[in-house]
Amino acid sequence: MILRLLALLLLLLPLPGLAQDTGAADDGPAMLVADRVWLEGKSRVVAEGSVEVLQGEARLRARRVSYDRDSEQLLIEGPIVLTRGEDEVIIADAAQLDRDLRNGIVQSARLVINQQLQLAAARLDRVDGRYAQLTRATVSSCKVCGTKAPLWQIKAKRVIHDREEMQLYFDDARMEVMGVPIFWTPRLRLPDPNQTRATGFLIPSIKRNSQLLTGVKIPYFIKLGDHRDLTLTPYLSSETRTVEWRYRQAFVNGRITFNGAVSQDSLIAPNRAYIRGTGQFDLARDYELTFQLEGVTDDAYLSDYGYSDDDLLESNLIISRTQRDEYVEARLSHYYTLRPGELNNQIPSIVGDLIYERRLFPRQGGELRLSAEQHSHLRTSNSAILGRDVARISAGAEWFNTWTLPLGIRAEGLVGVQADSFATRQDPTFPSNQANVAPTAAITLRWPWVRTQNGISEVIEPVAMAAWTGGTGLNVANDESTRVEFDEGNLLSLSRFPAPDRREVGFRGAVGINWTRINPDGWDARLTLGTVYRETRDANFTLSSGLRNTASDLLIAGQFRSKHGITLTGRGLFNEGFGVNKAEARATWTSKRYDLSASYVWLSADPTEGRPNKVSEWLFSSGFDLGRHLRGSLSGRYDIVADQPISAGVGLTYTNECVEMQLSASRRFASSTIVTPATDFAFTIGLRGFSASSSGRGVARVCR
């Protein structure tokens, strides 16, 4: 034992430390463990049998290691395993390295990077701990089964791996698929799996469109620094010459992203283009600035190229601050419509808003809510009525408090005052100026009945509200409250109009009941029934809103969720004859192998809401495993009233440890003055192992 310790000491004395990869500092003395250690002569130390050398993040395992102090060389006999953290593993038969393991020759080596990419070579030369040069190398991330060729591999005369730049450089490279050469290049550069941002080509794709025919997209990523980059994607076919682009930049206090495209095609002349940008910045005193920019040269461009289904583009600039008891927002927006039949100079295209909300808690109890809002919208048309411009100022103060009454009844009381002032221009059918001050009061009662048994909780809660608002309402245009939704969220609201250009006035009330069941280990359910009563009929509500008459439609809304991943949600408005005005339902099922969802919507005809005909549509989407590596998807949308499909899509994705292939097809059946029925096909293939984002994804194939 004493002789072994002396030999170990002799070995460690000339090894001050295996230098780090950067060569900048030492990690302290190395540690050696072996079955036998002895001294040969005066300068040679030999370790044999399960030899391990550890220093810092480096670990060397071998059958035999001998160190010559005069030449400072390590002769290593394999099998050899040299690891540096979790990102690099070298397996070899024999090696001759310097004492720091930074330089030397490795015979019959296999380098594994980030547990993904394998590089096998007849010889590996290490230089300065940074470069690894592999001679007669084969590179692949596929699992190799016996002597069979992998699914894909790259063979090269020489491969250099730069650890600092995280790049792979190939000389005389040949791409093979299942052993068949398909591509050759004299030079090739690819990122290693640890690289997250590197200049170079990204995964190309093939796309076929019935209007633009077959084309190819070849994205090229340009790293402009640590905090910004640019991606250019040429899209070429016989019918179009397009360049898509995306620019991103991060700042100390925010970030911006811009993307767009420029096209020359046979569909519309001359050039076509679109741009979209978003940004977010943190300002002083907890303020936040966000912006969005959208623009397009023609109404059909987005749909022709499949960039977006939006029919209304919004550009805005918002400065806001959200605190526990205060909210401040300043917003300026511009809208551009792509909808057939709408003219941009006749819609409120420029909209400005200033919003302030504040909560106070007086000593007398309760909560005081203060609000103020300035809104204006401008049409660019100079015509009377069609060019109507409106500005308003709204302010309100409400005191709110809650009490617990006998039998566990919860009471909520509210009193307040609301003030509105409107200025209308370019519309002689409305007064130029209107103002109103309206007091309001409301009381709400809730009586929750709770039952708990075997960990399952059930709550039945009858609710009722009585409210009154003074005034008669203003004679102003309805530009903001054009769509009213009646649901369980506003059953007990003072006003169900979305904006102050319309307010509910007079006496009104609401009654309903909520039922909730919560089982931590089983199924949960919620159900709400409610209706609204008012003293007089309110013609400001549309026919399909369910709120126009003195007694509203019956609201029924519910949700069911099971532990097996099934979720059902539904909501509907039913009139006196139990006819349906509006209804929607959604069902989803999520499991390890399947993701299914289906939705249905029914809307009765309502010209006031811009819907001359009833709407009855259903849509579905699904994803499902077809095996260990294959996953399919289906989607569709169907117009029941017209008895014809609106859109449909199908897709297949094949993924394993070394490749990902996607094939998709979609069809748009709808048509209008700007939308043409079209069919799209897309095919993308990507080699895994050259991107950090692919780490841990994909199921490895099984050798048979």
Same domain, 594 and 689: no
pLDDT tens per residue, range 414-468: 999 999 999 999 999 999 999 999 999 999 999 999 999 888 999 999 999 999 9
Quick check: 396 pLDDT over 60? yes
Please indicate, yes or no, whether residues 535 and 436 belong to a single structural domain of this protein: yes
For residue 7, what pLDDT is reported?
A: 44
Q: Is residue 53 part of a domain?
A: yes
Distance (Å, rounded) from C-alpha 263 to C-alpha 256?
24
pLDDT tens for residues 611-636?
Answer: 899 999 999 999 999 988 899 999 99
Q: Which two tokens stand for residue 668?
A: 């748009």
User: Within 10 A of 330 (CB to CB), how many other CB atoms are there?
Assistant: 17
Same domain, 471 and 587: yes
Per the structure, the complete domain to which residue 501 belongs is given by: 416-605
Is the same domain home to 540 and 658?
no
Looking at the fold, whether 455 and 556 belong to one and the same domain comes out as: yes
Does the pLDDT of residue 146 top 80, yes or no? no
Domain count along the chain: 3
Domain boundary among 605, 636, 658: 605
**What pTM did the predictor assign?**
0.82
Residues 395-399, mean pLDDT to the nearest whole number: 97
The lowest-confidence range among 278-282, 451-455, 645-649 is 451-455
Q: Are residues 169 and 37 both part of a single domain?
A: yes
Domain end marker among 165, 192, 219:
192
Indicate if the pLDDT at residue 22 is higher than 50.
no
> Prior bond to 270 cis, omega within 30?
yes
Residue 484 lies in a domain: yes
Omega into 439 within 30° of 0, i.e. cis?
A: no
158 and 27 together in one domain: yes
Same domain, 575 and 673: no
- Mean of pLDDT values over 34-45: 86
Same domain, 45 and 167: yes
In this structure, which amino acid lies at residue 272?
A: R
Q: Is residue 367 part of a domain?
A: no
**According to the model, what pLDDT value does residue 355 have?**
98
- Are 501 and 579 in the same domain? yes
Percent of the chain residues topping a pLDDT of 90: 63
Shared domain check, 646 and 548: no
The long-range contacts involving 583-591, CB below 8 angstroms and separated by at least 24 positions, are 589/564, 589/565, 590/565, 591/564, 591/565
DSSP string, 374-428: EEEEE----STTTT-EEEEEEEEEEEEEEEE-GGG-EEEEEEEEEEEEEEEES-T
Q: Which carries the bigger pLDDT value, residue 143 or residue 480? A: 480
d(CA 153, CA 161): 17
Q: What tens digit of pLDDT does each residue of 57-111 get? A: 778 899 998 888 888 888 888 899 988 777 788 899 998 888 776 788 888 888 8
- Report the alpha-carbon distance of residue 190 to residue 183 in Å, rounded: 15
| Residue type at position 187 | R
Which CATH number fits the domain that encloses residue 37? 2.60.450.10
Please tell me whether residues 630 and 585 are part of one structural domain. Answer: no
For 557-589, what is each residue's pLDDT tens digit? 999 999 889 999 999 999 988 889 999 999 999
Q: What's the burial of 630, exposed, middle or buried (CB within 10 Å: 0-12/13-18/19+)?
A: middle
Average pLDDT value for residue range 224-241 = 94
